[in-house]
Chain A
Amino acid sequence: MPNYTLNVNGQQRQVTVDEDTPLLWVLRDELDLVGTKFGCGIAQCGACTVHIDGVAMRSCQMQVSILDGTKITTIEGLSTDGKHPVQEAWETIDVPQCGYCQAGQIMTASAFLAENKNPTEEEIRNAMHGNICRCAAYNRIEKAVKLASKNL
């Protein structure tokens, strides 16, 4: 099996996995970073969202072999102290119900807000539409993104 060196959350990590292994399973099974979640496996639900060079991407559809030279950020590395403005907004608004999709929601929101510091309500709703919340905590996710945009 081939070896890969990945830059994950600022650290160089070595993994030995099949080349078609999705980043999702490298993170979860090999690197014990289980904050990134498995939801659909076909990039439709957003639970597995991570940042690749700051851009929100679906890790379930991203083969490990194409990630050389990129910077991967997962929910565990979004902030060193768990206090990224988006994480703090999520805590202030008390967003989660089951909570399973929230890491993906936060990763989408944080990448979006890095690009658009002062989004309109419609921009938030469109930016977040790729992330499914089966508990439908959407009102609170929307509020939290808005709050985070003010605190960034």
Chain B
Amino acid sequence: MKLHKKDNFSRRNFLKTSVLASGGMLIGFNFLTACKPEAKMPVDIANLNFNDFNAYIKISEEGFVTIFSPNPEIGQGVKTSMPMIIAEELDVAWQNVTVAQADLDTKNFKRQVAGGSQSIRSSWSVLREAGATAKQMLMQAAANKWQVDISTLKVANGIITNNNGDTLGYGDVVKEAALLEVPEKVTLKELKDFTIIGKDAVNVDLHKIVTGQPLYGLDYKAEGMVYATVLRPPAFGQELVSFDATAAKKVTGVIDVITIGEKVRDFKKSGEKNWSFNLSSSDKVVVIAKNTWAAIKGKKAIKAKWKTITALESTEKHEEVLNGILNDTKGKVRREDGNVAKAFTNADKVIEKTYSAPFLPHNCMEPMNFYANITKEKVHLVGPIQTPEAAANVVGKMFGFAQDKIHLEMTRMGGGFGRRLYGDFVFEVAEIANKIQKPVKLISTREDDMTTGIYRPSTKYKISAALKDGKVLGYHLKEASINGNMYGSIAHFFPAGCIPNYKVETGNYKSNVTTGAWRAPYTNFLAFAEQTFFDELATELNTDPIQLRLNLLENIDSKKDKRIQYSGKRTKDVIELVREKGNWGKVAAGIYQGFAAYYSHNTHVAEIADIEIKNGLPVIKKVTVAVDCGIVVNPTGAKNQVEGGVLDGIGHAMYANFSLKDGKPTYKNFDTYRLIRMNETPKVEVYFVENNLKPTGLGEPGLPPAGGAVANAINAALGKRLYSQPFIKDLKKQTILG
């Protein structure tokens, strides 16, 4: 990776880059507008010339610093870590900084998205430049005032000092600084001089969270706002025929019962496409009420008739088609090295295993909801969405508004996990608001979220290895999934480049069940399949599982293959760190260990799970994790992400079951759908590889290896290999349980 090669940025280059990227992230400084201590986005943001305005930073004459965090906050911590990066280069004291959530603003920001663990990775340089540019202009203003050269000045905590020991605060020079030309070049700090990055900073919303202040979309209220619930087809493949709202209209508080769907069909007919749009063409029944409870009760009272348009699918059907893809079809080849067929023909032994995972709902704790107010002149949208730009874009097209007539405010989100990448609930509430011409909030129940979701699709892998002379000489992985397949460079992840004869192919089945990204898409299950497969190969080859991985990684860095993004060295680093910290092979009697390592979302992770067996059941005691995400911006936040990712990975691998029958999900709420709870959680110990490499994301990478590490530990303890999730079901099948 080319890192910190160039620490000086020419202004011309910078502007060029900015303008080209999705409408442009423009830099400038809004120092003329005094900023109140309570942070608020300026309403005229769109009218400000970029030369006068810095969308990221505001400094008042009193010296108050407000940093706008541009990306959506779903619990991944960017509302804290992104402003930390700006504050570092701006050289202000972190405790004096107010952080506010920026609104959607495609003119001044780029990539306002929460997804793919990319916020920090893609913004690292941009955020540093923004802070450094502001600092340099403030220093220049002070230099002009004192009539000295800027190079003689020093800055710390927002105070500029000259050689005579005179001081000026940022607030003292902010007016003058704003009149200066934006500098051609800015110098970024040396990493060794960092005072904010690398130090623990608690969640910026922490106090508001623990005192129950309004923060989330569900908490948002506006004058005259009504509440809406939406009755959608109960089965995938069905559409509305008719409904009787007599009983619903009698519910106290119900204002009206309407239908939506027309605008969705118009949008589809227009040929417009947007990946975040995946609504069915069916009409939906909407209950408009004065309060949430009336809206929920009213919806239950609707009597609707549905007709079946396309085949109603079931889990049995999906099993059948996925097995068919694995066994009977030719897949699309994603990567092929050497001669796989020959390697298998010449093998001493061939190992072949098949792995299965169910559909999964996201189950964000905050159910889907969104606020909309659409008048003839403009659109106001407020709520939790991971992709605000795509949402505003679709709403503009659906209802004929230019983007500058759409004001979208992002709220803190009660979880994302990929669910809120899709804007279905935004488009629904927009159609409702447009129809009733009133401010309205759409509210979903848990049952709505779980039964009309956008699921992680059920997926199967068939993996085969050709063993010869104690080595893995051939590897063949086939993926069968629903509505899509592994994306990006996943086919080039480990063990690509490590095994001379290697092939990855995929096939998929088009289903009418809506599917989409779920935390660490594909790799959330692929890592389990692959990492348990390698554990099995290690047993077969009578090699230590960690040593097998290290042997395979031996030559990876010497290969010139640009498609391979993972680093052999960094993978080895995390493996060796976890081997040491996790006391691999050196634990007390009765503790069994399992190992897994995985690279995803540009971050390398290795994990060791320690389990014991109580009453014949596996009890996971501890998971040791080693992570290489480059520079750790905020250690407390980073650890929290990894701890949570590991437990989330274990929880879903162990317990999460889901199925469909006659097009309907059979799990509807947490009484039957099992999420991991505190008394089932191990302690997670997180260690970071220390280096000076550019930071990468952490929202997802901790999750993929967790299931594999636990499954391998279960095998170490019980001698039972797990091939499907949830493990609890697989263990039952193997009559270990109950």
Contacts and interface: CB of A to CB of B under 8 A. Distances in A.
Interface of A: 1, 17-18, 20-22, 25, 28-30, 32-42, 44-45, 47, 74-76, 82, 87, 90-91, 94-103, 106, 124-126, 128-142
Contacts of B207: 82, 91
Given A74-B212, A75-B212, 9 more contacts: A29-B291, A29-B293, A39-B365, A41-B446, A44-B669, A90-B209, A97-B641, A100-B365, A106-B210
Contacts of B715: none
A86 B130 CA distance: 38
Interface stretch (B59-67, B398-406, B672-680): B672-680
A25 B367 CA distance: 15
25 contacts: A18-B293, A25-B293, A34-B219, A37-B216, A37-B365, A37-B414, A41-B669, A75-B212, A82-B211, A87-B210, A87-B211, A91-B207, A94-B206, A98-B74, A98-B75, A99-B75, A99-B209, A99-B414, A100-B413, A106-B210, A133-B678, A134-B415, A135-B365, A136-B681, A139-B684
A134 B683 CA distance: 17
A28 to B, nearest CB: 7
A125 B679 contact: yes
Contact of B445 (A34, A41, A95): A41
B412 interface: yes
Given A39-B446, A90-B210, A126 B679 contact: yes
B414 A100 contact: yes
Interface of B: 74-77, 200, 202-203, 205-207, 209-216, 218-219, 221, 227, 252-253, 291-294, 296-297, 363-367, 412-417, 445-447, 636-637, 640-641, 643-648, 651, 669-671, 675-681, 683-684
A38 B446 CA distance: 9
Nearest to A44: B670
Contacts of B636: 94
Q: Shortest 6 CB-CB distances between A and B: which pairs?
A: A35-B212, A98-B75, A100-B414, A75-B212, A136-B647, A44-B670
A135 B291 contact: no
A25 B670 contact: no
A34 B221 CA distance: 10
Contacts of A74: 212
B203 A99 contact: yes
B365 A47 contact: yes
A25 B291 contact: yes
Contact of A138 (B445, B446, B671, B678): B678
Contacts of B216: 37, 100
Contacts of B651: 136
A138 B620 CA distance: 14
B206 to A, nearest CB: 6
Contacts of B643: 136-137, 139-140
A117 B416 CA distance: 36
Nearest to A106: B210
Given A37-B414, A99-B209, A136 B648 contact: yes
A102 B210 contact: yes
A41 B668 CA distance: 12
A140 B641 CA distance: 11
Nearest to A32: B221
Contacts of A141: 678
B672 to A, nearest CB: 9
Nearest to A22: B293
Nearest to A136: B647
A138 B684 CA distance: 10
A135 B415 contact: yes
A139 B412 contact: no
Given A74-B212, A100-B366, A139 B293 contact: no
Nearest to B219: A34
B683 A139 contact: yes
A99 B412 CA distance: 9
Contacts of A135: 75, 365, 415, 644, 648
A91 to B, nearest CB: 6
A28 B292 contact: yes
A47 B367 CA distance: 12
A132 B670 contact: yes
A139 B681 contact: yes
A74 B212 CA distance: 9
Given A99-B75, A101-B365, A137-B643, A34 B214 contact: yes
A151 to B, nearest CB: 14
Given A37-B365, A99-B203, A75 B644 contact: no
A103 B363 contact: no
Contacts of B646: 136
B641 to A, nearest CB: 7
Contact of A40 (B74, B647, B669): B669
B206 A91 contact: yes
A45 B212 contact: no
Nearest to B216: A100
Most buried by B among A35, A37, A74, A97: A97
A96 B203 contact: yes
A99 B205 contact: yes
Contact of B210 (A25, A42, A91, A97): A91
B344 to A, nearest CB: 41
Given A32-B221, A135-B648, A96 B365 contact: no
Contacts of A22: 293
A98 B415 contact: yes
A32 B447 CA distance: 25
Contacts of A17: 291, 293
B218 A91 contact: no
Contacts of A39: 365-367, 446
Contacts of B684: 139
Contacts of B253: 18
A50 to B, nearest CB: 10
B211 A132 contact: no
A95 B389 CA distance: 30
Nearest to A40: B446
